[in-house]
Structures are given as C-alpha cells and as structure tokens.
C-alpha cells in the first residue's frame, strides 16, 4: 500500500514538474499546461511553432484542420485563454472534453448561421481571437468551401490576421474522423503542430497578385499549413520508410506484370541489397545512370541508390543514341545500371553502345541478383529500416534530362527536398490515400512519371502498379480491367489512344486521371467522362520544378486550364511584347531545382538563384486558374505580331478532332516567319481551314497557308510532340532553308 502511494505520489510530482516546464517553455497558464502534459507525453508532440500562434497580434483567427477528436482539446490547452473556440456539435457536448472546455471560451458550431453573426466580427474588432475548426478535406465540397468564404469575409471586416494550424499525424489516431481504410490507425503516433505566420487576407493576396480571389488566397494558405507539416529535411528514403510505418511494412506497395507484388519490407530489403553492390563500385555522391523500364527493378534500384547516398541519373532510352551519349557525358556518368532482358526485349543495343561511347560501363541487375549471398539477404532483412549512408535532404537525389522538344536537352539536378516537396505539394492539393491504386505507364526517366507516378505513391502508401510502355494501346486497357486502378497518369495522346481500344468497363474503377505534358483535348475529356465516369484533371509542370507546378482537382477544376498553383509556390508574370492579356511565367518554391548541368560544363552544377523563367506564356483568371498560351519559343512573329502556335493547333484540332496536328514556324523573307501545319489529316484543305478560321473569329495571321501531311507526327518518349523533328520535317518537305 505504501509503495503504491509512493509510486502514485511520484507520478503526480513528475506530472506537476513537466507541467511547470511546459508552462515556462510555451507561456501557458498552469491549468493549460497540466492538461497538455498527457498529450505531450503520449504523442511526443513537436510543438515549437505553437509560439507563433500564441504571439500573434489580435485580432486573429486561428484556422484549424479538424482531423480527429483531440484537436479541440489540444488547441484549448495551447492557444491563449481569451480565444473563442467555435466547436462542432460533438466536441461541444462530449463529456471527456469537459475539463479542456473549462480552459477557454467555447460556442457550439452552427454551419448555417454562425459565420454570418455580427458577434464574431465584434469579438475580433475588440482585439479578440477566434479558433475555427474546418473539416479535414484536401478538396472541400461546396458546403465546406462556403466556410472559407465566411472566414474570409469576417477577417476582412475585422482586419484580422489568419493563422492556419495543422496537426500532422492526427488523422492516424484511433479518434480520427477519417475512415480507417484511408488513414490506418495507430495508438501513439508522433504528432507535429504546423503553424504558419499571421497574415491578413490583403497580405495573402499580395503574395501572388495574379491570383486575386480572397477566398482562394485563404484556401491556399490553409493547404500550405498541411504541406508544412512534412519535414522536408528527412530525405526521400526516410519519407518512404515513414510511409511504411504508417500503413504497415507488410502493405503491398509496388507491382509489375512480371515480378508480381512487393510489400514495403521486401522493397526495402531488396533496395538495401542492391545499395550494398552500388556502394562497392561507385563513390558517395556519384551520378549513377539508370537505364530501366517501369518495373519493380527500377524502384529497387532507385531505393538502393538513395540508401547508398548516390544520385540516380535517369537515362531516356527513347531519345536516340546521340542524346544518350550526350547525357552520359553531361552528367559525368561512369556506371549505368540496366537489365540484359530489358535491353534485348526492347532492342536497345545501339543505346548500350551509346552509353559506352559516353564513357560509362554497364552494371547488369541479373549479375547482381545471382551474386547475392544468403548472409546479405539476412542482414538486409534485419536492417531494412536504416539507410546505408547518412541522408542529407539538401544534396542531389536525381538527375533528369529535359525533353529537348525545342532544343538540346539539359541535365536538371533535383535534391531530395525538391522531390519530396513536390510530392507533398500534390498530396496537399489532390485527395489520395492508401486505399488507392495508381497505374503508372509513364516512364520514370520523365519527371511526371518519376515524381507523380513513382515517388508520390511511395511516400503516401498508395499502391503502385508499373507498366513498362505507354505505347501498348491495346494491352493497357486490359491491364486496367485486371488491376482496377483508382488513379492513372497519362498524356492526352496516350489517353485518347487507350480510349479507342478500351471496352466500356476497362477504366470503370478510375476516380480520376491526371494528365500533363500536353493540352487535353475536349474530346478526350468527354470520352472519359461519358464512357468511364472518370474525370481528367489537367495539370502543368516542368522538369525544373520536379515537375508539378499547377493542377486542377476533381472538385476545384476548370476545363481548358491547367489548374491553380500548388501550395508554397509563388509566380509572377513578365510582360511580353505583342501579347496584352498574358505574360511570361516565372516561378519560385521549394520544388524548384538545384540547377542545371550543361554539355559545355559537364558535371558542374550551375545553381539556380532566385526566380526561374519557365519560358511559358500564361494567362491567369481571378480565381487563379492558369491557362497556357504556349511556350515563348512556340510563338511566331509574323509581320511584327506574336501568334501562339499552340492556339493554332487548338483551332485546327476543333476542325479535325480525330487527327493529330503540330504547328511550326519557318522563315519567311517577306514577313519574318510563317506558320506551317503538319498534320495526319489526309483530307486537310487550306481553304476549308481558312473558312473555319473566319467562322471561329480567328485572326488571319493564325491560319496556316502551308499544310504538310504525314502518316505520324514525331513524339518524344514522354508523349510530347517532338517539335525539333517536326519542324525539320516541315522544312524538308517545303524545301525551305532553316
């Protein structure tokens, strides 16, 4: 009895002592600190940034993501005592919350009337504080989005600052408000409180003045708080391991058509075994070429290189021998990992020769696999959770080569932080979960296929099914019928061809399709909506941004645009001579590359400093939706007027929607340049096109007089039109000197 009492007294004393420490450290009242201690100990809460919220000058509105039943208790313990908490009905009545409700002022939430109350504006104008709990939805529905509008109005009327708060990890608690299939439960996950600096609505809008909507400025700031909950300093390997911890090491995470499915544990074991072999033949920080298709082997290789502190240089084997040799030399690649079976099946003997011509040797996965000993497998099975080398998120992780659609490819160097940031920016904008299955047919040497189609699922627990070629138009719909994916990535060209060969039920499992690299044609969008009940959400990116810059969502989307800027990114538009309603896009954000390597300075990182010029001409509407007018290089200057070649293609596509078209500019002695249409439409007629252009209200300069008919328009491995080859083809056909 005495021992029990002594133990109890010791526990109470420890509780009181920790409460005193927390009171001093965070500036809490003692009662707040006392009730905060159980949360602090149970969930090892990273809470340093809560000081930003506590020190915010009133009037202030705390906008809190309500993911679980503990957020109200946490915030009542941590926010200033004069804060008025607007609670949902369940939190306002819950018996267990009674001690915490005594810590501050609370009122019950009424979704229909609470935010139009003048009382809240008066509270704020009297130097008050409000805590508002919003539903945890990446893509809020109309009713939830109405709350953002209401908060915006109140903040503007009271000139109040906004402080977004997101409790990272709360959605995985047993008291989570998210279904368990989407957020697997853990009794004691580590929590981290993400708090952003206080800003008024006017200040939020001023950060991206080209996105003028007040409500969207608040919505984007809230998404930033979700994004900021990710620790970008942990690196890709650790982020993938954390995902394994969240969804379970036995969770099937990758699968291909040959090797079958691998769980997280098996993936990490295989990656560690390969990483040991890579360590033996390469130096830390060395660029190691990866010449592999979309299959389990490429993910194992990437993970092994990450674990071993090497840089994965993704070789585009569709670019041709000359480009491959140039890539090997530009990035100073000495070793390239490949597969004999793949090289033989894809008939890539010339690419292997090109690699060797560039000065690299081949390391074959088949040889590595045969040489693995039982002891190595056992060691990897025991130590799979730990990387082989210390991880530094600021160092290079991947080298990608630009598509070269308009010129010589360059090597783009991306850090762990760039890639992880972009994956989590996308996760803060698009609703995905471990309940999803992602079918990726885009090659990993393309930034879209790497970040969106490979890294994003690995760091979020989404099961990934890899298929080696996007060009198998008949097979991919059959694969989709068997795999039942809920998400697919693709380009308009690929998606349109899949739809032509697919049966009605092949893509019926899809929730949405993310499309990029080229504009989505209205016909492609209509087919997927009508036949497969799947929404195509169009996005925009560039390799230098790792790659996603903007994206529509299934709920917040606008056809014909590429969506809205991702969280934590900024943009500015520079005026372009001859274009009044659009500008040249410059970007800044945590996903922007480390820098380039170029052929004239091989192996030397030329760092990006400040803003990045994308070379794209874009227009932005009041809601922040971005419309691509074309590349700056994809404008023709005709008699002093700037004409978008992309707009020409859209005009032609409206007339002959079943065919493929590319508009290119060629020299013209009289007017500087003229537009040539390269098309697969056999019956394309210049007079018919001119007549259609007049009916559509197109300027006469936009309508090509020259039409070159071809069987196929050249494309790159990424699915984009190869404009360099297309222009050369047009010049040859017309007999015009470049």
d(CA 123, CA 130): 8
User: 59 preceded by cis ω (within 30°)?
Assistant: yes
Helix, strand, or coil here: 599?
coil
Helix, strand, or coil here: 403?
coil
User: Any idea what DSSP says for residue 57?
Assistant: P
Nearest to 379 by CA among 467, 270, 245, 458: 270
Full strand arrangement of the beta sheet holding 287-291? 361-364, 335-338, 287-291, 311-314, 396-401, 411-415, 595-598, 601-607
What element of type H or E holds 718?
Answer: none
Question: Could you tell me which residues come within 8 angstroms of residue 298 by beta carbon, excluding any fewer than 6 positions away?
Answer: 290, 292, 444, 454, 466
User: Any idea what DSSP says for residue 139?
Assistant: S
| Dihedral sign (CA 12, 15, 20, 21) | positive
**Tokens 């529905």 sit at which residue?**
141
> Do 449 and 428 form a contact (C-beta atoms < 8 A)?
no
> Do 162 and 150 form a contact (C-beta atoms < 8 A)?
no
Residues designated catalytic: 66
- Which residues on adjacent β-strands are paired with residue 86? 107, 132
Question: Could you tell me which residues come within 8 angstroms of residue 735 by beta carbon, excluding any fewer than 6 positions away?
Answer: none
As a 3-state breakdown, the chain gives helix, strand, coil percent values, each rounded to 5, of 40, 25, 35
Angle value at C-alpha 147, between 146 and 149, nearest 5 degrees? 65
> Do 500 and 494 form a contact (C-beta atoms < 8 A)?
no
């Amino acid at each position: 009895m005495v021992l029990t009492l002594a133990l109890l007294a010791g526990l109470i004393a420890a509780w009181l002592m920790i409460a005193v420490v927390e009171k001093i450290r965070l500036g809490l009242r003692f009662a707040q600190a006392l009730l905060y201690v159980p949360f602090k100990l149970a969930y090892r809460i990273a809470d340093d940034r809560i000081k930003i919220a506590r020190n915010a000058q009133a009037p202030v509105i705390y906008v809190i993501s309500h993911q679980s039943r503990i957020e109200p208790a946490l915030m009542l313990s941590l926010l200033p005592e004069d804060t008025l908490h607007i609670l949902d009905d369940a939190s306002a009545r819950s018996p267990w919350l009674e001690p915490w409700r005594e810590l501050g002022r609370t009122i019950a939430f009424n979704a229909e009337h609470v935010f139009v109350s003048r009382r809240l504006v008066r509270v704020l104008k009297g130097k008050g504080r409000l805590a508002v709990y919003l539903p945890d939805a990446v893509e809020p529905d109309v009713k939830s989005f109405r709350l953002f509008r209401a908060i915006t109005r109140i903040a503007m009327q009271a000139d109040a600052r906004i402080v977004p708060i997101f409790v990272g990890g709360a959605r995985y608690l047993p008291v989570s408000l998210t279904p368990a299939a989407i957020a697997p439960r853990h009794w004691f996950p580590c929590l981290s409180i993400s708090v952003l600096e206080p800003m008024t609505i006017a200040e939020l809008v001023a950060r991206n003045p080209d996105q003028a909507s007040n409500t969207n400025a608040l919505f984007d700031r809230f998404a930033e708080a979700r994004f900021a909950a990710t620790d970008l300093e942990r690196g890709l390997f650790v982020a993938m391991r954390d995902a394994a911890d969240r969804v379970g090491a036995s969770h099937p995470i990758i699968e291909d058509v040959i090797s079958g499915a691998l769980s997280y544990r098996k993936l990490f074991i295989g990656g560690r075994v390969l990483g040991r072999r890579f360590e033996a033949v390469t130096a830390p920080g060395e660029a190691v070429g990866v010449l592999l298709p979309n299959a389990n082997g490429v993910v194992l290789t990437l993970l092994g290189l990450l674990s071993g502190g090497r840089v994965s240089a993704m070789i585009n084997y569709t670019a041709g021998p000359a480009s491959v040799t140039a890539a090997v030399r530009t990035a100073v690649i000495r070793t390239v990992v490949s597969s004999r079976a793949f090289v033989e099946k894809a008939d890539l003997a010339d690419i292997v020769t090109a690699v060797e011509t560039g000065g690299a040797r081949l390391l074959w996965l088949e040889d590595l696999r045969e040489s693995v000993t039982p002891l190595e497998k056992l060691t990897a099975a025991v130590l799979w959770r730990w990387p082989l080398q210390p991880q530094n998120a600021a160092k290079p992780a991947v080298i990608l080569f630009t598509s070269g659609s308009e010129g010589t490819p360059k090597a783009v160097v991306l850090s762990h932080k760039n890639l992880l940031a972009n994956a989590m920016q996308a996760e803060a904008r698009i609703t995905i979960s471990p309940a999803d299955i992602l079918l990726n047919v885009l090659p990993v040497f393309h930034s879209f296929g790497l970040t969106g189609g490979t890294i994003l699922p690995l760091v979020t627990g989404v099961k990934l099914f890899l298929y080696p070629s996007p060009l198998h138009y008949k097979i991919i719909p059959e694969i989709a019928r068997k795999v039942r994916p809920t998400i697919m990535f693709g380009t308009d060209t690929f998606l349109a061809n899949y739809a032509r060969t697919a049966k009605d039920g092949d893509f019926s499992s899809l929730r949405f399709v993310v499309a990029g690299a080229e504009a989505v044609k209205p016909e492609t969008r209509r087919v997927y909506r009508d036949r497969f009940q799947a929404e195509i959400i169009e996005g925009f990116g560039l390799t230098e941004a790792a790659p996603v810059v903007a994206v529509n969502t299934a709920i917040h989307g606008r056809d014909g645009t590429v969506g809205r800027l991702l969280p934590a990114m900024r943009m500015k538009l520079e005026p372009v001579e001859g274009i009044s309603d659009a500008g040249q896009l410059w970007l800044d954000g945590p996903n922007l590359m480390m820098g380039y390597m170029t052929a004239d300075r091989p192996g030397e990182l030329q760092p990006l400093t400040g803003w990045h010029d994308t070379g794209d001409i874009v227009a932005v509407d009041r809601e922040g939706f971005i419309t691509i007018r074309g590349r700056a290089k994809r404008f023709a200057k005709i008699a002093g007027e700037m004409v978008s070649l992309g707009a020409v293609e859209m005009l032609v596509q409206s007339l002959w929607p079943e065919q493929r078209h590319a508009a290119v500019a060629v020299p013209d002695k009289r007017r500087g340049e003229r537009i040539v249409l390269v098309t697969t439409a056999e019956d394309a007629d210049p007079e018919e096109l001119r007549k259609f252009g007049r009916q559509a209200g197109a300027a006469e300069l936009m309508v090509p007089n020259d039409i070159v008919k071809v069987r196929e328009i050249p494309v790159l491995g990424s699915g984009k039109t190869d404009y360099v080859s297309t222009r050369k083809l047009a010049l040859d056909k017309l007999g015009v000197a470049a």
